[in-house]
Amino acid sequence: MAACLASAPAFSADLKLSGEQEAPAVKSTATGSGSINVGTDGAVTGSVTTTGLTGTAAHIHQGAPGKSGPVVLPLTKSGDNGWAVPAGSKLTPDQLKAYKAGELYVNVHTAANKDGEIRGQIKP
């Protein structure tokens, strides 16, 4: 009988971050890309890499496209242009439901754009 890994990625989302996706939109030439993986138990892994900005913070937020929302998970800086989901991160059942509905996003904040300069909606 095969073992079942509860934290194995059940969903994987490739991200493309841009200023146009921020709410409200931000005029920026910066971009970002990455991948967020969510297990059936809500375990989260992944990372994003940015170009054209100096990020001061990055988070996964809850919010539908075009709407801002609260922080779900803070990301940790990993190198000059990288941000990673901290080990052991997990969504609550309500956050997992929001993820499945396409209502989570990643954004990267800068000194010039404290509410976020680039954003990418996480699509399951």
Mean pLDDT split into 10-residue runs, the chain, 124 residues: 47 91 96 95 96 97 97 96 97 96 97 97 91
Q: Which residue has the tokens 């300069």?
A: 117
- CA-angle at 114, arms to 116 and 63, nearest 5°: 40
Q: Is 3 exposed, middle or buried (0-12, 13-18, 19+ CB in 10 A)?
A: exposed
pLDDT at position 124, please?
Answer: 85
The residues facing 17 across adjacent strands are 32
Q: Is 92 exposed, middle or buried (0-12, 13-18, 19+ CB in 10 A)?
A: exposed
pTM given for the model: 0.90
Q: Which of 1, 3, 17, 95 is nearest to 52 (CA)?
A: 17
**Which two structure tokens, joined as six digits, stand for 85?**
């989901």
Could you give the 3-state DSSP secondary structure of residue 97? helix
pLDDT at position 11, please?
Answer: 79
CB 21 within 8 A of CB 30: no
